Amino acid sequence: MTGILDNAGQQADRFARARLIAGWDTERLAAVTAVIAGVGALGNEVAKNLALAGVGRLILCDPDTVTIANLSRTVLFTASDVGRPKPVAAEAALRSIAPDTGVVPRQAELVSGVGLGELADAAVVLGCLDTVRARMQLLGRATLAGAALVDGGTGPWAGEIRLRLSPDEPCFACALTAHERGISDVPWSCAEPPPTGPVAASIVSTALVGSWMTVAALRLIFADPPGYRLLRIDALGGRTEPVQLTRDPDCPHHQPLTEAPQSLAVSHRDTVRDLLAALPDGAEPFGWARFPLPVRCIACGDTTPIPAHAGHKGASCGRCGAVLRPRFSERLRDADGSLRLCDVGVAPEEILTVRLLEGGHQWHRLE
């Protein structure tokens, strides 16, 4: 605990009032890690609440940077943060208001920013995302890791809280059609309006949903989970309404890892060559994120690595200007052996699937 003195010169307890709440466990909070995916408006509220409550460690994951449009809805960002990575700006603010909480910022997409091992070890994972695609990705990874997930969404005067505590339970994807689950709506930067026009949002619904998400997360940490799995919030009508979910047998988000992963003495900061050397001969490890491969120009023969952000539009040859078509892979043996695993999109404490030479596969967890 940070050494703060009261007026009498005695060491003060910043959580003294919270300790008076029946069922509150400050020591348990200080011992756990929570993962927050998305550090925009909703992620700000949730991170602030959990840090002030005394959660010992927060992992904040978001690939975006702070913009002017964030400032009316984010308690952790100021005008001086515009252009900075959201997780990094949030860490600085949280360090000031909640010095007892350790904050780990990850400016990355989820699959490259937080490993399955970290999700499995977290007391709770919180989704504060703004696209169906991102929510389905988080749900899928939480399923594989067997992680307890609290997901939130906001509207102009409303919101939803969605919980999935084990892969056996019905989830919010069960209420979607196969087409809706597969929607690939591309996240848009807060620096630009989305194609359909500005999304209506304010601090009002953000703060409300963030508070409900925090309550759900704390109840999970205190081993007293809420009875609902989907809660709808109507701020204008002054109502909350739990919604009963039914499991869809065709929903793909209910299959955790089939066996316990084996530990590898390799981290995401080691090289691809180090990983291959630690695995059985002929084993083929696969990552979860695609990485770009060098492409040979058919016009002049030059071989050039294409940046990952080139996507399907391709890039131009640096020598002759001809259009290059990008190639990507998830097979880690295809990468340059001298590259670090984090440079090809492998997250810290990731669990990799490894195909064996003699057939079958294993799961391996990075240290």
Q: What is the pLDDT of residues 159-198, one digit of tens each?
A: 999 999 999 999 989 988 888 877 654 444 444 455 454 5
Task: Answer yes or no: is pLDDT of 309 > 60.
Answer: no
Q: Report the amino acid identity of residue 41.
A: A
Q: What mean pLDDT do residues 238-245 have?
A: 94
Rounded mean pLDDT, 14-18 = 94
Mean pLDDT over all residues of the chain?
89
Per-residue pLDDT at 189? 47
**120, 125, 128, 130: CA torsion to nearest 10:** 30
Domain ranges, ordered by start, for the chain: 18-242, 262-365
Q: What's the token pair of residue 262? A: 């084996």
Place of tokens 């002929």: 282
Is 312's pLDDT higher than 50? Answer: no
Give the residue, 165 or 10, on which the prediction is more confident.
165
Confidence band, pLDDT 50/70/90 cuts, at residue 256: very high
pLDDT at 292: 87
In the block, tokens 């709808």 appear at: 232
Task: Give residue 48's pLDDT band: very low, low, confident or very high (50, 70, 90).
Answer: very high
Please write the tens of the pLDDT for every residue from 186-236: 444 444 455 454 567 789 999 999 999 999 999 999 999 999 999 999 999
SS3 content of the chain, % helix, strand, coil (to 5): 30, 25, 45
Query: Looking at residues 282-290, what average pLDDT do you find?
Result: 95
pLDDT value at residue 311: 45
Residue 11, pLDDT score: 52
What's the pLDDT score for residue 249?
A: 92
Q: How many CB atoms lie within 10 A of CB 99?
A: 13
Percentage of the chain beyond pLDDT 70 is 88
User: Nearest Cα to 280, choosing from 339, 362, 193, 224?
Assistant: 362
Closest CA to 115 of 144, 151, 91: 144
Judged against a pLDDT cut of 90, whether residue 296 lies above it is answered with no
**What is the pTM for the complete model shown?**
0.88
Q: Residue 294: what pLDDT?
A: 78
**pLDDT, tens digit, for every residue of 98-143?**
999 999 999 999 999 999 999 999 999 999 998 889 999 999 999 9
pLDDT on residue 6: 56
pLDDT number for residue 314:
57
Residues 6+ apart with CB under 8 A from 66: 74, 77, 81, 82, 83, 84, 85, 86, 89, 190
Calculate the CA 171 to chain-centre distance: 18
Residue 209 tokens, joined: 């949903």
Give the model's confidence band at 95: pLDDT under 50 very low, under 70 low, under 90 confident, else very high.
very high
Q: How confident is the model at residue 260 (pLDDT cuts 50, 70, 90)?
A: very high
The answer to which of 324-328, 331-335, 347-351 has the lowest mean pLDDT is: 324-328
User: Considering only the top CATH level, what class is 18-242?
Assistant: alpha beta
**What's the CA gap between 116 and 106, in Å, rounded?**
14
The answer to which of 39-53, 70-84, 274-288, 305-319 has the lowest mean pLDDT is: 305-319
| For residues 267-274, average pLDDT | 98
What is the β-pairing status of strands 124-127 and 149-154?
parallel
pLDDT for 299 beyond 80 = no
Cα dihedral 315, 318, 322, 328 sign? negative
